[in-house]
Structure 1
Amino acid sequence: MELVFVAAAGAVVLLGLLLVVRRLRGPSESAKRSKKAHEAAQERDPPVEIGETYTFGVIELTDHHSGKEVAVGKVEGFVVFVEGIPNDIGEGDVIRAKVLSFNQGRTSADATFVERG
């Protein structure tokens, strides 16, 4: 029983040390690049307009805050989340989508699927 307690205490101490080392190292290079891109996006006007339709490639499929799967694409580096996609749309497919709205910081847009590009 005592051996189990010592092992558990050792594991907790090791986990704590790992967390301290990670915090001291700071954010990863990927996280730094992502933050820099997000800040740059906040400083520019979106390259898309509400009500307009754009053609672009699907970068990935993901779950959006709406709870539904959406396609993610970019127009001139600007992220667009597309709802209402057919089940057979996947990464690499080219689609057309109509922009419906921007997020609060105008760093991305929500759109609806129109057709395959």
Structure 2
Amino acid sequence: MIPTSPVAVAAAGAVVLLVLFGVVRRVLGPSDEARESKRAHEAARERDPPVEIGETYEFGVTELTDHHSGSEVAVGKVEGFVVFAEDIPGDLAKGDVIRAKVLSFNEGRTSADATFVTKA
């Protein structure tokens, strides 16, 4: 039986709106991964970097990406701290372990730019 009273129609409409709102929020809202990334970024801002400028560190390449400089860089982490290594060889692949020398920190000191030294 289809509800015909104004109260029943209003209640059904409210339920439909709540369901639609939940679906839209879920689809358009930040993903769990995005929320975790933001939490990690905020935590990084509150601690001193575990790397020092001028020092060389060994880390696994988690991805290769285009840097703001326009060149491809290797991305990896040292103790959870993001390092972007420039001047990488063309045969470098995700999963390779490299050594890179830290050159500078970004403005918020939540990541560092480095130059490729060698494959480990």
TM-score by structure 1 length? 0.79
Match of 1:48 in 2: 51
Match of 2:90 in 1: 87
How far off is 1:25 after superposition?
6.4
Moved over 4 A (4+): none
Can you give the 5+ residue segments of structure 1 that lack an aligned partner in the other structure? 1-16
Paired residues, what number? 100
Aligned partner letter, 2:63: E
What CA distance in whole angstroms lies between the structure 2 residues aligned with 1:30 and 1:23? 13
CA displacement, residues 11-43 of structure 1 (integer Å, 9 cap, x when unaligned): xxxxxx89x923796322111111100000000
CA displacement, residues 48-85 of structure 1 (integer Å, 9 cap, x when unaligned): 00000001111010000000000001000000000000
What CA distance in whole angstroms lies between the structure 2 residues aligned with 1:86 and 1:56? 16
TM-score by structure 2 length? 0.77
> Highest Rg: 1 or 2?
2
Aligned partner letter, 2:44: A
CA RMSD of aligned residues (A): 2.0
**Counterpart pick for 2:99 among 96, 100, 113:** 96
Identity value in percent: 78
